[in-house]
Amino acid sequence: MTDHALRLLRQDSRLAELAGFPFDFSLDRAEYGHGEPVRLASGGPLKAIAGDDTGGTYFRCGDGSVLYADSEGGAGIIGSSVDEALEILIGLPGWHDCLQLSPEDGEERILAHVAEVEREIREECEISLDEERLELRSALGFPERSPVELVRMLHAALSRTEPDFVLLNAEEGRAYDLIGPPPPPLWESVLASGRADLAALRADEREVWEAVAEDAVRRRLALRAAQFDRVAGDLELLRRLLRYETRSSLTDELRLAAVLVGLHGRVEDLPLLHEVRETDFDTACGLSEIPGPGADPAELRQWAQDTDRVFFGTDPADEPLYTWTDLALDQGLTGQALVALIRRLDAIELDQSLLRAADDPTQLDTDELNTLAEEFETLGEPVQSARARRLHLALQDKPARR
């Protein structure tokens, strides 16, 4: 895709006028910029190319994608190029009202919804929408596409917004809300490679075993995948992973591997668990509650169940955010981790009850803000780090602590 259409609009005032009305893509409004200073969380380039009559702005990003930002704090990619974005705007002039649609809605519902939106536009603006669309589409060289295909294109574009095109208020650091469908949870991306490795380990693929044994990150991810996909036949696999994980001393995943082994309730695994516990001082402390040599299967299973309930569980959505951001960073998924951390800080700013202490809901536990500040510093995000520290300071209720 190219920006051929944008050049034609800039060269032909009649086409630019049509784009501005009734399709609400006004080149003149680009001169005024957006209502507030903005930047991409990824740090990529951003250039305003047009605006609409609601105060929204169309930006061209470094790869040519078009990002739309409204005046109420929402934003999203609406095309992989200006040409594609304009095709969608011309074919779906009420595209804002089509954001609730998805390709899964089916042709009948999509066509009915688009027809109703266009009927309202015709009545409100008293125009012959079809004539203007035909003239502009023909002049720009766009093919005629059905509303169903255009909804699919819009949906696909919006789904690419995170993590590379998340828009921030440049002064305050807050992220704009997504105007499109929510992205998959971070844990899905993080676990993808671990799930693939786990499947290969279950198939006893020798090359994968050797690679996982030597790679601490892949071991951790495979164990996390096993945490959420517990199979009775995995015991031998878990024993091997447990032995390998001792190379990293006490990690959350080492404790997890011990728990997953213990849940099988095999007393013949107690020597292995004790051997792992004695790896070094840290493992001896972290696994100190493993039952002694004379324990029966019920005691072993009870220890594993209790530890599982406190530290782990079977639903990835219940894991702390920082489990997934740490694993994302270990895999090089820096953009996804950064966006998740920014949105977490945004959520805390809007709702400080998220910090309520677990043991005393009348009090706030602000330690998480220090964690966020440190994470942002590591990622080279001083503005976000300062946000977290300012909020932490503001929430200290004792002058001495300030």
Confidence of residue 190 (pLDDT cuts 50, 70, 90): very high
pTM for this one? Answer: 0.92
Q: Do 34 and 123 have their domain in common? A: yes
Peptide bond into 382 cis (omega under 30): no
Range in 4-18, 113-127, 153-167, 201-215 with the lowest mean pLDDT? 113-127
Confidence of residue 399 (pLDDT cuts 50, 70, 90): low
Q: Do 168 and 292 have their domain in common? A: no
In terms of pLDDT, which residue wins out, 130 or 127?
Answer: 130
User: Is 323 a domain residue?
Assistant: no
pLDDT at 32: 87
User: Is 322 a domain residue?
Assistant: no
Q: What's the domain range around 281?
A: 186-317
What's the burial of 161, exposed, middle or buried (CB within 10 Å: 0-12/13-18/19+)? buried
User: Is 401 a domain residue?
Assistant: no
Q: Do 29 and 89 have their domain in common? A: yes
Q: Do 172 and 26 have their domain in common? A: yes
Residue whose pair of structure tokens reads 């109703």 in the numeric block = 116
Question: Could you say which DSSP state residue 175 is in?
Answer: B
Give me the percent of the chain exceeding a pLDDT of 70. Answer: 98
Choosing from 286, 317, 348, the residue where a domain stops is: 317
Question: Phi and psi dihedrals of 176, rounded to 5?
Answer: -70, 150
Q: Do 16 and 65 have their domain in common? A: yes
Identify the three-state secondary structure at position 110. Answer: helix
Residue-averaged pLDDT of the chain: 95
CA–CA separation, 69 and 178 (whole Å):
10
Q: Do 193 and 215 have their domain in common? A: yes
Element (H, E) at 47: strand 46-51
User: Is 325 a domain residue?
Assistant: no
